[in-house]
Amino acid sequence: MNETAIERNGGVQSGRPILEVDGLVMHYRTKAGDVSAVEEVTFALGRGEALGLVGESGCGKTSVAMTLIRLLPDNAIIKEGSVVLDGLNVAELTDGEMRKHRWADISMVFQGAMNAWNPVYKVGDQIMEALEQHFPDMSEAEGRVRIAELFELVGLSPAMMDRYPHEFSGGMRQRAVIAMALSCNPKVIIADEPTTALDVIVQDQILKELRKIQEELGMSIIYISHDVAVIAEVSDRIGVMYAGRLVELGATDEVFPRPRHPYTYLLLSSTPSVVGPRRRLAPLEGEPPNLLAPPTGCRFQPRCPFAAEICASQDPPSQELAPGHHVACWHWEQVPELGRLEA
């Protein structure tokens, strides 16, 4: 938790959040049927806040992000809900209207983006192209000054802007991706697995710097990762996704020491750095369901050690257990303290 960033931006609790996601449902149409990738997802992002989204592969984290920034493939349909960015419902904008807001108001570091640089153009020129689209009056000299500033911000030497992607290390390429995402001064930035492909030392450096930049610029950020330890370090609050649903949401310093959803419990229990080396780990067995035909009732029920009859027939509603701590589980009271459920 970082109190200073929150205070400086007027408090996360007070004032209207920068982003409000309400009852969002997004499906992919496929020949085999609808993939229920985002189901009734509701959360808000405070000004200057860092929210982490965590969950196993295929739980819908990227799908939520792509819906927020409206970069969905043709087979995707937003079925219900709203996404309000600083008072503007982006779910209702036309593609042309959305183009004006994407990158300038909400931007994203894409999963795997460090490998997406075009090898035949200099990195600076590729960022320049993005800048030109949003600031048509900006001269080339002004653009270069801006890119130099951005490079310094993310820990790259400004001289690197005239180099080609192959001259950058993996960590440097990822820093340049972050510079690109910051280039239009967005209000909200989504970082989808921003450091997953990097070694742990570089990962740690980049995350710390990203955190510092976010605080300095008073930006709001959504971090996405399957790695709960990474999320814990950088997020004020965390949201846990399972099979398209947000099953737990709360302050990181409440959820981590005392998760209330069985999935969060097992996810944390199976991470040695969270439970500590001496505790026995409870395994998270099996895999998330196929979202073409998700289980009835609670989607976690087939893997849940606390599942009872009601879980297979009725979807648990999200309950607010304490201010700001939401859990969707019929049996949250049975979830023990971390380390208590033995393997």
Positions that interact with ligand ATP (CB under 6 A): 28, 30, 35, 37, 55, 57-63, 73, 75, 111, 226, 291
Q: Is the Cβ of residue 99 or residue 226 nearer to ligand ATP in the bound state?
A: 226
Q: Which of residues 91-130 bind Mg ion (CB under 5 A)?
A: 111
Shortest Cβ contact with Mg ion: which residue? 62
Taking 3-state DSSP, the helix, strand and coil percentages for the chain, each rounded to the nearest 5, stand at: 35, 25, 40
Give CA–CA dist 287/283, Å, rounded: 12
Q: Is the Cβ of residue 65 or residue 161 nearer to Mg ion in the bound state?
A: 65
Q: Is the Cβ of residue 62 or residue 67 nearer to Mg ion in the bound state?
A: 62
State the nearest-atom distance from the C-beta of 60 to Mg ion, in Å. Answer: 8
In what order do the strands lie in the sheet containing 33-45? 33-45, 19-30, 76-85, 88-89
Would the CA dihedral through 149, 178, 77, 84 be positive or negative?
A: negative
- Out of ligand ATP, Mg ion, none, what residue 59 binds, judged by CB under 5 to 8 A for its kind, is ligand ATP
Going residue by residue from 60 to 89, which x/- string records binding to Mg ion, judged by CB under 5 A?
--x---------------------------
Task: Please report where in the chains the tokens 């000004």 appear, as a residue.
Answer: 47
- Out of ligand ATP, Mg ion, none, what residue 28 binds, judged by CB under 5 to 8 A for its kind, is ligand ATP
Q: Is the Cβ of residue 61 or residue 260 nearer to Mg ion in the bound state?
A: 61
Structure tokens of 249?
């949401």
State the nearest-atom distance from the C-beta of 34 to ligand ATP, in Å. Answer: 9
Q: Is the Cβ of residue 159 or residue 293 nearer to ligand ATP in the bound state?
A: 293
Considering the rule CB under 5 A, would residue 195 count as an interface residue with Mg ion? Answer: no
- Out of Mg ion, ligand ATP, none, what residue 75 binds, judged by CB under 5 to 8 A for its kind, is ligand ATP
Contacts 24+ apart (CB under 8 A), 207-215: 207/233, 207/234, 209/154, 209/155, 209/175, 210/178, 210/234, 211/2, 211/50, 213/153, 213/154, 213/178, 213/182, 214/5, 214/48, 214/50, 214/189, 215/2, 215/4, 215/5, 215/8, 215/48
Considering the rule CB under 5 A, would residue 252 count as an interface residue with Mg ion? Answer: no
Give CA–CA dist 219/50, Å, rounded: 9
The binding site for Mg ion (CB under 5 A) comprises 62, 111
